[in-house]
Amino acid sequence: MEDVNTSSNSHAWENLFQHHESNGGLSLIERFNANPERGSQLSFSCGDLWVDVSKQSLNAETVELLFQLAREKGVNDFFHSMSKGDVVNLSEEAPALHTSLRNPLPSGMVEENLGRMKELHQKLKTGHLVGYSGKQICSVVNLGIGGSHLGSFMAFEALKDYGNPELEVRWSSGLDIADLEDALLGLDPEQTIVIVCSKTFNTFETLSAARRTQTWFLEGGVNNFSSQMFAATSEPENALTFGIEAENIFSFSSSIGGRFSLASPVSLGLMLSIGYENFDDMLQGMHLIDTDVLANDKNIPLLLGLVDVWNRSVLGANSLAVVPYSYRLREFSSYLQQLMMESLGKSISSTGESIEIETGMAVWGASGTDAQHSFFQALHQGTEIMPIDLIGFAQLSDKTNDELFANLIAQAQTLAFGQDLAEDADSVTEYEFLPGNRPSTVILAPELSPNILGQLIALYEHRTVATGVVWGINPFDQWGVEHGKKAALKIVDELKNSEVSSNHDSSTTSLIARYRHWRND
């Protein structure tokens, strides 16, 4: 992969910056006035999705220059190498195999897992999945954190309309005991299974919660809880050592990153909720986008990644807001925070050099009209321009929602064109003036179904990978996260013992002392 330390070491980068210097001053109003066909020319279909980038601060020439940059950086070659299982995660010398999870002709471990997941769902559906005492299982508790939680929990919330109403599914992540207590509240230990999701099966937060559920089982009269505990992991031996029975372990390749693992057994709880058929439909939606990315050099996930590059590296935007106009999809921005920020929040290239061009953006958001009454004020009139993705559906819960859809369209329109004080001088004060020229991408779909959710997930996955390749960074490692975990484990030992390391700074030493004082008070 070619280094992108400066804009001057790349012909395509030079062309982009020169293009910005000559065209960057045009407002969105001027761009639309100059080209009445702009809306249709910069809108594209991708599977069942409709993607409109016409309200981004670019034009057809910008798009072509961005695609030239992608060709120079070998993005499409990278996609093909990734799909073939070549080594693309250079720092860990590993492939990235997440797209193999949704291949309609699976093989090996993937095929075995899908078969076993389908069988488990059938046993649950027919009432043949029972606990230690012979009672029918009617509740599931899913334990995980990060990539072993955010994606599958987001999809569970998004697809609640497809869930089994007779099955109670709860989710717990993190170390706060209250989180797990809420997840277990009111459940019968004799009728509950617990799914422990941890790629390495040594994740401190998840295993701490798993041990507490073992105590909960024992206190509830389930003396042999091993048959009611399941695992999703790339390290089955660690799950066996923990005490989970072999037939309850669903393993996947260590070359599937946590934030890309939504199609793996990490989503066992999701599958049990929505059923195997709907889960498979979601995989088909993901595969549809996978296929499109490989078949078309100018594919839409790549285009969206290039728009992110344009906004961040050329226009200097620091963040990306993602606002789905759907209550069901309210966890989508949290899922994307990990997917995009853990993948792209790096200043070292995949070949180990320092990157001097701006990379990575803060990703944040909330659902629809709630967001409008929260942070949209800053989007409309704030001093910083923040690009936004607006995601909408023609039908939600089998019902049309004209008011919700109208709000999405109105926000995109107002962000782009604002309110001209001169045109409305008689009715608009200077306080009401909206400058406009705030970039947005609109992504529309006919409904929020398992298949379309799969398409959205794959769209953002490939968009993230494409952005990383253009920037010359590895989207599949997370060394900062790993170091943070190790540092926390060292401090845990110190909090439980009397000695404090002399290597700490004065602030850390003081914080440890304050915690001990309050804990022992």
* Active site amino acids: 342, 373, 485
What backbone torsions phi and psi does residue 354 show, to the nearest 5 degrees?
-75, 135
Asked if residues 44 and 292 have their Cβ atoms less than 8 Å apart, the reply is no
In terms of Cα–Cα distance, which of 180, 232, 236 is closest to 211? Answer: 180
Asked if residues 102 and 283 have their Cβ atoms less than 8 Å apart, the reply is yes
Helices within 74-136 (DSSP H only): 75-84, 108-125
What backbone torsions phi and psi does residue 144 show, to the nearest 5 degrees?
180, 180
Helices within 296-339 (DSSP H only): 300-309, 332-336
Integer Rg of the chain from CA? 25
Other CB atoms closer than 10 Å to residue 420's CB: what's the count? 14
Q: Is the dihedral of CA 408, 413, 418, 421 positive or negative?
A: negative
Q: Is the dihedral of CA 210, 253, 163, 119 positive or negative?
A: negative
H-helix or E-strand containing 442?
strand 440-447
Q: What does the alpha-carbon distance between residue 498 and residue 403 come to, in Å, rounded to a whole number?
A: 61
In terms of Cα–Cα distance, which of 489, 72, 514, 94 is closest to 309? Answer: 72
In terms of Cα–Cα distance, which of 289, 301, 261, 339 is closest to 101? Answer: 261
Q: What does the alpha-carbon distance between residue 486 and residue 127 come to, in Å, rounded to a whole number?
A: 43
Other CB atoms closer than 10 Å to residue 200's CB: what's the count? 14
Q: How far from the centroid of its chain's Cα atoms is residue 52's Cα?
A: 21
Q: What does the alpha-carbon distance between residue 201 and residue 198 come to, in Å, rounded to a whole number?
A: 5
DSSP SS3 for 323: strand
In terms of Cα–Cα distance, which of 461, 477, 356 is closest to 3? Answer: 356
Q: What does the alpha-carbon distance between residue 282 and residue 270 come to, in Å, rounded to a whole number?
A: 11
Burial 392-408 (b: 16+ CB within 10 A, else e): bbeebeeeebeebbebb
Other CB atoms closer than 10 Å to residue 455's CB: what's the count? 24
DSSP SS3 for 438: coil
